[in-house]
Amino acid sequence: MSSNKKNNNKNENINEKANDKIKLNDGKVNDKKKNDKLKIVILLIAFVLFMAGSTFLYNNLQRNKSAENENVANENELKAPDFTVYDLDGNPTQLSELEGKPVVLNFWASWCPPCKAEMPYFDNAYKEIGDDVHFLMVDLVDGFNETVATGSRYIEQEGYTFPVYFDTEGEAGYAYGVRAIPMTLFIDKDGYIITSVHGMIEEETLRENIEMIRN
């Protein structure tokens, strides 16, 4: 009987140890599951943060790219240099005062054959759209080869109706670096040079360029 009791106690001790081992294993399993869940949560948070950071970076790059494109566009626009010229009566006209309407700026002289050849094209255009576009026909007066008298006499003889201005101080020619004439610039209503033609202009080109600054 004493032997049976010892065996029973021994069995109970074994069972208790087995139960303790099972509990320990269960605890390890639970801890592993908790760690796995924690890892998944951390990975999800990291993924969300990564996506948010990537989106922020992409949007930032797009904004910077747009700003750069805008800056490039602005750099490509050339503001027309300002100057003052004078009509036959000596009244001053400043280019910047004409903003609000497009401007056709032409440099010419009465001794210049190509200048005289293109004059009818300007006069025809002025008669048609002179109310919508400023025509600034600037005679490059040097006091020797060209004077106010010779320039105005030529215009009167030909019967041209567009307004004529005289660069008596050389300010306009200097501002645009005029080295040869004729030279024509097309300026939009905001005062920016859109295009230009060096040398004699054809009537079709003149009208096409005027349409560019009117639109």
Q: How confident is residue 77, by pLDDT bands cut at 50, 70 and 90? A: confident
Residue after which a domain boundary falls, among 38, 59, 76: 76
Q: Assess whether 102 and 198 both reside in one domain.
A: yes
Read off the CATH number of the domain in which 143 is found: 3.40.30.10
Task: Name the domain count of the chain.
Answer: 2
pLDDT reading at 61 higher than 80? no
Q: Express each pLDDT in 204-213 by its tens digit.
A: 999 999 999 9
User: Shortest CA distance to 142 belongs to which of 108, 96, 95?
Assistant: 108
Q: Express each pLDDT in 134-151 by its tens digit.
A: 999 999 999 999 999 999
68: containing domain: 1-76
Q: What is the pTM of this model?
A: 0.66
Q: Express each pLDDT in 161-206 by its tens digit.
A: 999 999 999 999 999 999 999 999 999 999 999 999 999 999 999 9
Average predicted confidence (pLDDT) for the chain: 83
Q: Assess whether 100 and 143 both reside in one domain.
A: yes
**How much is the average pLDDT of 105-115?**
98
Q: Assess whether 108 and 136 both reside in one domain.
A: yes
Residue after which a domain boundary falls, among 49, 76, 103: 76
Residue 105's beta-bridge partner residues? 136, 185
